[in-house]
Amino acid sequence: MNADPFRKLVRSEGVRLYRDLPWRRTRDPYGIWLSEVMLQQTQVVRVCDRWSAWLERFPTVGALAQAPVADVLAAWQGMGYNRRALALHKAAMYIMERFDGEFPRDASALCELPGVGPATAQGIRSFAFDLPGVYLETNVRTVILHHFFPDVPAVPDKELVGIVEATCPGPQVPEGRFALPEDERDTPRTWYYAMLDYGAYLKKTIPNPSRRSASYSRQSAFEGSRRQKRAALVRCLLEAGEGGLNAGEARAALDKMEACAGRPAVAPDVAQSILEDLAREGFCQKRSDVDRYFVAH
C-alpha cells in the first residue's frame, strides 16, 4: 500500500482543521489519560470545561488515588457513565501501588489499568510519549472507512488495523543528519491529532462512515432506562452523605423521578437490585446492621 498520498491529505486536513484543545497543550500522561476517558462518552465542548475543573480538584494521579470515592463521584456528576469515574479512581490507586506513580509506556502494562483498553492505552502512548501504534478510535475509524472502504458495509476492525498501523508514522529523529524536513516531521502525536480532527469534520459533512463499521452500535435510550435509575441513585447516595440510603428511600426517590417524567412507579425490587449492583461494583458499601448503603467519604 502506498500510504504517501493519504498521509499528505491527512496532514493537510489536520493543519486546516486543527482544534486547540486544552489537553493538547500538555504531555502529562495523567491529563491525557483523563481526556481520553472523558471523551469516550461525552462531547468535546463539555469535556473542555470539565477536564480543567477535574485537574484543579485532583491535580495529580496521587491526589486522585488518595481521594475518597464520594469526592471522585461528586466531581464526575453530569458527565454520565459513573463507571468511568470509579475506574479512574481504581486505576490511579493501581498506578501508585504498582508503578510508584509513574505511567507505564508499554501498551500491555497500560491495559492492566481498570477501564483502559487498547485504544485508550495507545492514546496515552501517542499523545504523551509520541510512540507509534494502533489508535483505533471512532474518528480514526471514520477516516479509514471513508478513504479505504467506501460504501462497504459491516467492515470488521481487523480489516482496519493493518491500515492504521501502516499509516501511523514512527518517532522521528528531532535533529542531526538524519532529521526530516520540518514539514515532514509527522509523529504519532501530530498524526493522530490530524486524524481525529479530520474524522470529526467528516462526520459533520457526510453520512457518518463509522456506521459502516461492524463494531458500530447505536446507544440505547437513556430516559426511563436502568442506566438512568442507576445514575439517579448515585446522586441520591452522594446527597445523603454519611446518613446513607435504605431500599425504601431509594425506591421513593426513583418513584418521584418516574412520576415527574409521567412514567409508572418502579417495580418493588428494582431499587434494591440497583443498590446491590452499585455495592458490588464499588460505588457504595452496605452496612448490614442498619440495612443502609453508604458512599465512602
Q: Which residues are catalytic?
A: 36
The DSSP element (H or E) to which 294 belongs, if any, is strand 292-294
Query: In angstroms, what CA-CA distances link 255 with 14, 62, 194, 278?
Result: 49, 39, 47, 18
Burial group, residue 251, by CB count within 10 angstroms (0-12, 13-18, 19+): buried
Distance of alpha carbon 267 from alpha carbon 117, whole angstroms: 36
155, β-bridge pairs: 213
Burial 214-232 (b: 16+ CB within 10 A, else e): eeeeeeeeeeeeebbbbbb
Question: Tell me, what DSSP letter sits at residue 155?
Answer: B
CA distances in angstroms from 155 to 136, 146, 214, 215, listed in the order given: 13, 11, 5, 8
List Cα–Cα distances, 139 to 42, 134, 204, 206, in angstroms. 14, 13, 11, 13
Contacting residues for 36 by C-beta, under 8 A, at least 6 apart: 119, 120, 123, 124
CA distance 277 to 260: 25
* Residue 117 cell numbers, joined: 483498553
Give the C-alpha separation, 171 to 143, whole Å.
22
Contact criterion met (CB below 8 Å) for 281 and 275:
no
